[in-house]
A and B are shown apart, each in its own frame.
Chain A
């Protein structure tokens, strides 16, 4: 399949992403003769483990006994916090990508794992009740044709909300499937694109982070698993940017 680079909008320090920027970016694609085609969609989910902790195995009567006993102390000693953080991955992500609507991808970045599965794996995960959704994001927008390139610009927003949390752009080069062979032309296209965007003096820029695909067991020949890994990284960046803005506000 044709290879693609997935980029995300990195706002300048002190600024945030807004719908005006999204609109300007879309206009920018059209200004370089991008032909608007259809809509596209991707979803990203960050999971967290459902942990039972040590108290889950205690009987109801034993918990009452503990509460009564601790209440009798002048200063109740704190209950020990079970340390489970290291036991389960905190970066377990699920991704659906536009080119494979019937597939779903799981990524654990820390351990460099990417798994391709039929969409029904989501039903299995729900039934297992071992992990639950921590953050769910939708990406949707328009697709543009530009010669041998296909561009997709999408807004990132939480599921069931219209709040803009980020902007994602896919640059797909249709004639080539080899990451290495396409590197030069992709780089050149990105330079032209960045130049077009910079004319609009927007408070930020598109960033491309290329993962080490070999660490995930992926070869040079591009697959949807490459896309999934790129989305997982983009999602982490978007969440980090939102959290950084929120911590400054607080």
Chain B
């Protein structure tokens, strides 16, 4: 399981967000360059239609591959009330021929993306990961060198933390409280519920840029 919230920020304020995150997390950022391939089951395959993501980490000296399956979100009155999405998520590191295997099994390419940006991994009540990235699409199949932004001028921010059925309430509260620190720059909400950019972003970014994150927001 994982807890997740997403938001967007204008590219001009990303540097300020980076300064803020650096101050909050106390760790160095990691560069992010992920080629994401989304596959869907062919028309006759499976009890139900299924979807799986293959992630290729292009930042590594030798690209590494991961299979990710995102399952259904937690439902019910309790889930509605919390501001963080709790969903099943399973990952497996795999060898580089994974795309060939899934094609052989009857899966088809649905779409592919290139995420470029940075990430912070840190412990703050939960093992939190914040990624800030621009989402790019490929004009030609697998041509990651020729990718162009899907939404120029806008970057995506995602906060995730692994959780289990036993501890997800604590993880949800850890993620929620962390998100409050970012509130002047961006608003984070459950995936699929877009809240747009926040009006205070420009002022907050200017403040952060002027004193390098020393001021408490």
Segment from A46-54, A70-78, A144-152, A159-167 that makes contact with B: A46-54
Interface residues of B in 69-112 (CB under 8 A from A): 69, 71, 88, 90-95, 97-98, 100-101, 104-107
The answer to whether B92 and A128 have CB atoms under 8 Å apart is no
Q: Which single residue of chain B is at the shortest CB-CB distance from A84? A: B44
B57 to chain A minimum Cβ distance, whole angstroms, is 15
Top 3 nearest A-B pairs (CB, nearest first) are A130-B46, A121-B92, A118-B92
Can you list 5 pairs linking A and B with CB atoms under 8 Å apart? A113-B100, A118-B94, A120-B90, A124-B92, A130-B41
What A residues does B44 contact at CB under 8 A? 51-54, 56, 82, 84, 87
Interface membership of chain B positions 150-185, coded 1 if the CB is closer than 8 angstroms to chain A and 0 otherwise: 000000000000000000000000000000000000
Given A120-B90, A120-B91, A120-B92, A51:B45 Cβ within 8 A: yes
A106 at the interface (CB under 8 A from B): yes
The answer to whether A128 and B69 have CB atoms under 8 Å apart is yes
Question: In the docked arrangement, what's the CA distance between A217 and B101, Å?
Answer: 13
Interface membership of chain A positions 34-68, coded 1 if the CB is closer than 8 angstroms to chain B and 0 otherwise: 00000000000000011111101100000000000
- A contacts with B: majority SS: mixed
Q: Which single residue of chain B is at the shortest CB-CB distance from A53? A: B44
A163 to chain B minimum Cβ distance, whole angstroms, is 29
Place the interface of chain A in its size category. 35 or more
A117 at the interface (CB under 8 A from B): yes
Question: In the docked arrangement, what's the CA distance between A183 and B111, Å?
Answer: 46
Given A52-B46, A128-B69, A129-B46, A108:B92 Cβ within 8 A: no
The answer to whether B47 and A50 have CB atoms under 8 Å apart is yes
Interface membership of chain A positions 3-34, coded 1 if the CB is closer than 8 angstroms to chain B and 0 otherwise: 00000000000000000000000000000000
What A residues does B92 contact at CB under 8 A? 117-121, 124
B214 at the interface (CB under 8 A from A): no
What B residues does A193 contact at CB under 8 A? none
B200 at the interface (CB under 8 A from A): no
Given A106-B101, A113-B101, A117-B67, A128:B46 Cβ within 8 A: yes
Question: In the docked arrangement, what's the CA distance between A92 and B98, Å?
Answer: 14
Given A51-B44, A128-B41, A113:B104 Cβ within 8 A: yes
